[in-house]
Amino acid sequence: MPADWQRMLPQLDQDNRDFWTGGEHGELRIRKCGDCETYIHPPRPVCHKCLSDNVVAAAVSGLGTVDTCVINYQQWMPDMPVPFVVARIALDDAPGIYVTSNVIGCPVESVQLGDRVRVTFLNQEEVWIPLFEKIGSDDGPEGN
């Protein structure tokens, strides 16, 4: 999707602000329980596993795997570029956490289950939208 397309932006609050603004510092931030170490996404003020409110944002690597994906051909809003990939990304270092986003920077038909991806960010207003790009042999060492 072109970077100049204005997306609908989330309303920031105390629970989700770290997730939506971490990209300003190049970080994908996922909430984590300080007591039982469980990652929590979507962001919530209380751990769903142990019910602790000792929950803080933790930076993760932003590396992951396409768990499922679909190519969207429907133009939901005027000027919305189509087609685009919607994918569920399993994050490497946040067990059980999936981020739904877009895979960009490649032909939509090339995105497949199991593809390795890394986060990149699109800044619009005060929000840094996490998007993902494929990584592989053509991109150099994984994680760079």
How do residues 43-96 score in pLDDT, each as one tens digit?
999 999 999 999 999 999 999 999 999 999 999 888 889 999 999 999 999 999
Instruction: Break the chain into its structural domains and give their ranges.
Output: 17-136
How many CA atoms does the CB half-sphere of 65 hold within 13 Å?
8
What pLDDT, on a 0 to 100 scale, did the predictor assign at position 138? 52
User: What class is the 17-136 domain?
Assistant: mainly beta
Q: What is the mean pLDDT of the chain?
A: 92
Residues 6 or more apart from 17 whose CB is under 8 A from it?
A: none
